[in-house]
Amino acid sequence: MPALMLSMCLLAPDGTTAAAGFERACLALITAMQRLDFLEDLAQDAEEGRVGISNEVLARHGLTAKDLRPEAAGTVPVAELIAAQAGTAAVSLAAAQPIVGLAAAP
């Protein structure tokens, strides 16, 4: 993620308004990518005792980090958590769409 943040600044447009919109879109993209990375690594991270999903979000689904271990992966609450997290990532990806039109010309 840090490399993306550094490289995105090379594409930032001139002008305060355009730059602010570009920064918001970059943040949305980075947020979506991080959320997807957390989902991709969920089983392994749970086994290692470090999950990238907050305890507050887990609690909303009636879960703890221990409930995310691979042996519990087929439960309804885990499936609902994954669907909700994927939905959050999708919202962030949609918010990142303006990046295409806001990036500085080549």
Q: What single DSSP character describes residue 23?
A: H
C-alpha torsion 103→21→54→63, nearest 10:
-90
Instruction: State which residues form the domain around 69.
Output: 17-98
Q: What is the mean pLDDT of residues 3-16?
A: 74
The span from the CA of 82 to the CA of 95, in Å, is 20
Is residue 85 helix, strand or coil? Answer: helix
Most confident of 3-7, 15-19, 84-88: 84-88
Mean predicted confidence (pLDDT) in 56-72: 89
Q: By percentage, how much of the chain surpasses pLDDT 70? A: 92
Angle made by CA atoms 52, 95, 41, in degrees to the nearest 5: 20
Q: Is 12 inside a domain boundary?
A: no
Q: What is the pLDDT of residue 43?
A: 85
24 lies in some domain: yes
Quick check: 5 pLDDT over 70? Answer: no
Domain count within the chain? 1
Question: What's the pTM?
Answer: 0.80
55 lies in some domain:
yes
62 DSSP 8-state letter: T
Q: Does some domain include residue 10?
A: no
